[in-house]
Structure 1
Amino acid sequence: MSSAAPENTLAQEMKAGQTRNLLLATLASTMGFWAWTIIGPLAKTYAANMDLGAGQTSILVAMPILVGAVARVPVGAMTDRYGGRLMFTVILGITAPLVLLTAMVGQMNNFGMLVFVAFFLGIAGTVFAIGIPFCSAWYESHRKGFATGVFGAGMVGTAVSAFFTPRLVAGLGYMGAHILIAALVAVMAVICWLFLRESPTRRGVEPTPMLPKLKVAFGLKETWLLCFMYAIVFGAFVAFSNYLPTYLGNVYDFDATGAGTRTAGFAAAAVVARPIGGTLADKVGPKLVSIASYVGAAALAVVVAFQPDAEHVYGPIFILMALFLGLGTGGVFAWVARASEARTVGTVSGIIAAAGGLGGYFPPLVMGATYNEAQNSYFVGLMLLALFCVLGLITCFILRNGGRVDERTAAA
């Protein structure tokens, strides 16, 4: 009876704090993703003002993704050590002035300086590596896929950015829009500090040094396989969310607002699908969800490569692709808790999240480099996406522990 009482108290505390902390973390992620992808929706404007070619525009759009990917590894490890409440506050607190700096440099029409600032703006993208271990710690084993899936919906910030950023610029002016966004990010940092709470499962857990955790995580074969799988689905989502305004402008001649609206629809579809993918992974296992994702995304990438010329045709195709990619991000990340111990989930998820970010860094560069200006075609880049989806599909059959986890077994 004496041992049952603390367990019941812990369960009650977990249940009481789950929803609030999950929703606040998801909102914090939304703001971080908005700031992280603030350059993409304005890429056509920057290109026109600075007379940039396709390659230069690709570099500018991809630059925030680079540091947002690489920095997820140490940020995930620091989350294991210091907790999500502190890390959310610090990262968002750093991001707010970086948004303002981006605005100031963007007005100077200096490509080199804007790329330099965009590199550091990528810090905003590390919020993902904070939220995965933070939210996962609040939920039982058989509901971790749901928790990480809902938190992953914070990537709706890319849709928010694509839809609202051009409109705010049109309504408030370039600097006014950035000031508002920076203020919202700063307010979110304060909210995180005041209202987020760590999971009671962290009590009494001695923080361990970062480097040994990283060594263990990098030594797992499962970590590398998941890195590859996640780099494909999340990388494709990030790449499209950032580069799609440029793609739609080049191929279908949309202006910044029109392209942003359609990109927001793409991102929103992926966001809706992500928690569904995580929840389905809890029920049927992440393997089946991931298989469906790769098969669907590969087939649709091939169709898009041939550039359907009617919006009522290519519009639904892009939305379907986003849905399959969203399912994949939820399904693949549901595998993470199975491949690592609870005390190293932050470290492992940081590495895998970094791989996802890097997966979003290279496609815009590839799209710019392989763009056939004479034929106005991105055929090569899209066929490469299909090829990598096939490789991801093969990896599903190599990685272990992809089946369904019985709730009673998980709770034992």
Structure 2
Amino acid sequence: MNSHVPRTDHATPPPRLSWMLALATLGFLVSFWAWSLLAPLAPALRQELGLTPFQQSLVVATPVLVGSLGRIPIGALTDRVGARVMFPLVTAATILPVLYLGHAADSLAEVLVGGFLLGLGGTTFAIGVPFVNSWYPPGRRGLALGVFGIGTGGTAISAFTTVQLTDAVGRNFPFDLVAVLLAVYALTACLFLRDNPGRAVTAESLLARTAATLRMAVAWQTALLYAVSFGGFVAFSVYLPTYLTTAFGLERSDAATRTAGFVLLAVAMRPVGGWLSDRVRPVPVLVTAYAMVAALALVAATEAPLVPLGTISFLGMAAALGAGAGAVFALVARLVPPERVGSVTGVVGAAGGLGGFFPPLVMGVVNSVTRDFTWGYVLLAATAAVAGVFTATVVRRRTR
């Protein structure tokens, strides 16, 4: 039988709300920075350890897959014990694999073990969403969760700094720096992070709570929407450099800079999507976002000149995917009982992380078979269109 402490309204001064949101976002940012440390170093590790392309992909994929799937139990635990326990615990535990990878891992097996444990850093998403959701009133949750989502920018910080710091200071330095930041954050969270005393708390066991969540239709529906929006963002951030160098002959540095612009715009649009969802409801925001992605993917399918049409299409998709990701969690906040937000967030977050791996594989296969990228973008357009129709029909009926 489900039992929970009913949520009550507590008058909380706005500065404290902002402080709680800032602490959660900072923890998300630092842990995602840690989570992404291996990807920028993959080419160097390939040379250093004599890895095959598949082994290199495995090194990059391991922490992402573990971090994505790990959100399911971590979200369920957060519903039970709260973010005040989980945030310091998870960030402190992430220090160990960070230091291990920086100082002790010097073979493929050791790097994979370290990467597996490093996946823990990617689970903090499922801690922060229920935490922020519990503090903010319904009319402000979309914007608040969107601001929290800026923490995904930790992946961009890692991409921009890891190789440069390695070259300038030494191979160990990025790992040491992130370990120190994780320790500082864990201590800060212990001292200052507070759960809302009126948050809903479930009394179910972890297994019972997870099983109940997986039986919820809304969990799978929002997971599908997030797999398209955030999964599309992840896919582009991973595959866009390869596409730009292959299709347009750009230098790697130029392709990396353009991809960075894509990532930053998508991250910046996440709170915008949440804010719009507070104003006009999440469903119209999502339908518009998926329609934009479908239309602009068809433009990209024509392999139009990169300047200006190609650039406009990619940046437009970045804005739509970012806004869509923000709107999905505004939708979760509206449809999911407060005591289950963490559990559902775990499932939805896992779908988003895993959703980013299929499009690059599809694009690679399509390009290998047809020698162009047209059908890959046509499939993206079709997927976004299906997500838009699903949102406008099934999800809209559920919100009513």
TM-score, length of structure 1 as denominator length: 0.85
The aligned residue for residue 17 of structure 1 is: 16
The 8 Å contact of residues 231 and 360 in structure 1, kept in 2 or not, is answered as yes
The aligned residue for residue 408 of structure 1 is: none
The aligned residue for residue 361 of structure 1 is: 357
2:81 is matched by which residue type in structure 1?
Answer: Y
Residues in 1 aligned to 2:373 and 2:170: alpha-carbon distance in whole angstroms: 32
How many angstroms does 1:38 deviate by? Answer: 2.2
The aligned residue for residue 29 of structure 2 is: 30
Distance 1:170-1:309 versus aligned 2 partners, 3 A rule: farther
2:383 is matched by which residue type in structure 1?
Answer: F
The aligned residue for residue 330 of structure 1 is: 326
**Percent of residue pairs identical:** 40
How many angstroms does 1:272 deviate by? Answer: 0.9
The 8 Å contact of residues 59 and 364 in structure 1, kept in 2 or not, is answered as no
How many angstroms does 1:104 deviate by? Answer: 4.3
The aligned residue for residue 226 of structure 1 is: 222
Residues in 2 aligned to 1:93 and 1:113: alpha-carbon distance in whole angstroms: 21
The 8 Å contact of residues 199 and 338 in structure 2, kept in 1 or not, is answered as no
The 8 Å contact of residues 277 and 331 in structure 1, kept in 2 or not, is answered as yes
Whether 1:383 and 2:399 are equivalent positions in the alignment is no
Residues in 2 aligned to 1:62 and 1:122: alpha-carbon distance in whole angstroms: 10
Q: Determine helix, strand or coil for the equivalent of 1:335.
A: helix
Residues in 2 aligned to 1:220 and 1:86: alpha-carbon distance in whole angstroms: 26
The 8 Å contact of residues 80 and 207 in structure 1, kept in 2 or not, is answered as no
Whether 1:212 and 2:208 are equivalent positions in the alignment is yes
In structure 2, the gaps of 5 or more residues are 1-6
Distance 1:330-1:257 versus aligned 2 partners, 3 A rule: same
The 8 Å contact of residues 335 and 399 in structure 2, kept in 1 or not, is answered as no
Distance 1:227-1:76 versus aligned 2 partners, 3 A rule: same
Q: Determine helix, strand or coil for the equivalent of 2:368.
A: coil
Decide which of 139, 143, 155 is 1:142's aligned counterpart: 139
The 8 Å contact of residues 14 and 139 in structure 1, kept in 2 or not, is answered as no
The 8 Å contact of residues 84 and 130 in structure 1, kept in 2 or not, is answered as yes
The 8 Å contact of residues 80 and 133 in structure 1, kept in 2 or not, is answered as yes
Residues in 2 aligned to 1:175 and 1:368: alpha-carbon distance in whole angstroms: 33
RMSD of the alignment, in Å? 2.9
Q: Determine helix, strand or coil for the equivalent of 1:214.
A: helix
The aligned residue for residue 321 of structure 1 is: 317
Decide which of 166, 174, 187 is 1:190's aligned counterpart: 187
Whether 1:159 and 2:150 are equivalent positions in the alignment is no
Q: Per-residue CA shift, 1:225-276, capped at 9, x if unaligned?
A: 1111111111111233334444445555666655443333222111111111
1:196 is matched by which residue type in structure 2?
Answer: L
In structure 1, the gaps of 5 or more residues are 1-6, 405-412
More off after superposition, 135-144 vs 162-171 = 162-171
Q: Determine helix, strand or coil for the equivalent of 2:172.
A: helix
Distance 1:102-1:264 versus aligned 2 partners, 3 A rule: farther
The aligned residue for residue 130 of structure 2 is: 133
More off after superposition, 162-171 vs 206-215 = 206-215
